Amino acid sequence: MSLWAGHMTKMLPTLVWVVCRGGGDETISLEGVRVYPPGTAQFFASIGLPAVLAYPVFFAEAIGGILLIAGVHARGVALALVPVLIGAAWVHWPNGWLFSNPNGGWEYPVFLTIAAVAQTLLGDGAFAVSGKRIADRAAAVAAATEA
């Protein structure tokens, strides 16, 4: 078993538990905070954004976050999430600095935006899953087998 596969085997049950803990049909529960697409759509409509925009944003954040945790094309995923995170900072801007303020402040979304930009600039890590890295490993195995 490769080092990456061993790492993912150990991490996967925890990841599944965090994402699915307490979830229902269309609910993702993280640490007891329930977030669901219809509620997100209502929130978007309440701040003047099209309610239908909530669905792609919700799934981009959920799936993008899981892909980042798993290390799947981390550079591209982080870059794709930057506009979503800037939008989150914009939405939370009127609530003040601290995310612990009522309705959440802009501190945490700005931090996540900076982290996503940093991940984009740093690139994929040692355990990342990307097409280039897989091709490089396959070439190295082929070269080692021939020798």
What are 99-120's pLDDT values in tens digits?
Answer: 788 878 889 999 999 999 999 9
The model's confidence at residue 90, banded by pLDDT at 50, 70 and 90, is very high
Q: What is the pTM assigned to this prediction?
A: 0.66
Closest CA to 81 of 61, 101, 110, 105: 61
**For residues 68 and 147, what is the distance between their CA atoms, to the nearest angstrom?**
36
The Cα–Cα gap between 49 and 26 comes to: 22
Q: Which amino acid is at 53?
A: L
Residue (of 98, 103, 91, 25) closest to 61 by Cα position: 91
Spell out the domain ranges in the chain.
Answer: 3-146
* Between 135 and 12, the higher pLDDT residue: 135
Other residues' Cβ atoms within 10 Å of the Cβ of residue 120: 17
